[in-house]
Amino acid sequence: MSNLPKIAWIGLGIMGSPMAENLIKAGYAVTGYTLEQDKLERLAGNGGTAATSIAEAVADADVVITMVPASPQVEAIAYGPDGILENARRGALLIDMSSITPQTSIDLARAAGEKGIRVLDAPVSGGETGAIEAVLSIMVGGEQADFDAARPILEALGKTIVLCGPHGSGQTVKAANQLIVAVNIQACAEAVVFLEKSGVDLTAALDVLNGGLAGSTVLTRKKDNFKNRDFAPGFRIDLHHKDMGIVTDAARTVGAALPVGSVVAQLVAALRTQGDGGLDHSALLRGVERLSGYPTEG
């Protein structure tokens, strides 16, 4: 039998499913729970075990990992008689990899500590591709000893894994990440429209730009989305809208000005209001197109 810790995985969405599968590939026994039956079948088909409830999933787990959309979902799965804290064993390690508010992470760590459950907040960056390829950047908040215990698990999921400080610090760094990514996507989208309207070959232009100081992981990962207008969701506008709310609220709390970030947050919100919330965040290009007089979709 394996001496590796037994893992419960809660939340098998666009990111969660491939991440859980990477742990299975690394030799971990993974029991999963999510609301979508097809996702449970996918997990079972890849060597995991499907649970019928959170309580069943976490009962025998050494480590519980959660990957759900936002703070309300984290609170829903963590608290209450059917939640993680009431059903996980004392001494278990809860690693929340969702992107939520720093305060939610701090509150969760405090409540879990009263049950003898250790907690790390460990949000990720890298999108669906990074999850599939196990090259995510993982920013962690919590205690050093818990981080050290979790590192082998996190190394099966990502390449850049950093303890950023106490509980909530991982979420604060993730908020900054989402600020940078949104501003970067918006700048790339504006450049695309500028280049096209100027009659420049877009492929050639993006290739040479990406080889210089304007180059970025965003441009590398998203240039085909821009060129092909392929906005199948790797990371949805709806979720980036949520994250921009987190960073603008947190920045207001600490007195940090976000003049450009605040504008981009409004552009993300506008795109969502226009019905594009389910598209990939590279669809910020659609907002620039509308402002630039491109023909509207029929």
d(CA 160, CA 149): 16
d(CA 204, CA 42): 40
Residue 144: half-sphere exposure toward Cβ, Cα within 13 Å:
0
Q: Is 165 helix (H, G, I), strand (E, B) or coil?
A: strand
d(CA 239, CA 235): 7
Q: Which residue type is seen at 107? A: D
Of 161, 113, 156, nearest to 4 (Cα)? 156
Tokens of residue 111, six digits: 């409540």
Of 63, 69, 71, 35, nearest to 51 (Cα)? 35
DSSP string, 93-117: EEEE-S---HHHHHHHHHHHHTTT-
Backbone torsions φ then ψ of 238, nearest 5 degrees: -55, -45
d(CA 287, CA 253): 29
Catalytic-role residue among 6, 39, 174, 227 = 174
Q: Is 241 helix (H, G, I), strand (E, B) or coil?
A: helix
162 membership: H or E segment, kind and range = strand 158-165
The secondary structure of residue 275, as a DSSP letter, is I
**Is 174 an annotated catalytic residue?**
yes
159 within 8 A of 126, measured Cβ to Cβ: no
Tokens 């950093």 -> residue = 162
Q: Which residues are catalytic?
A: 174
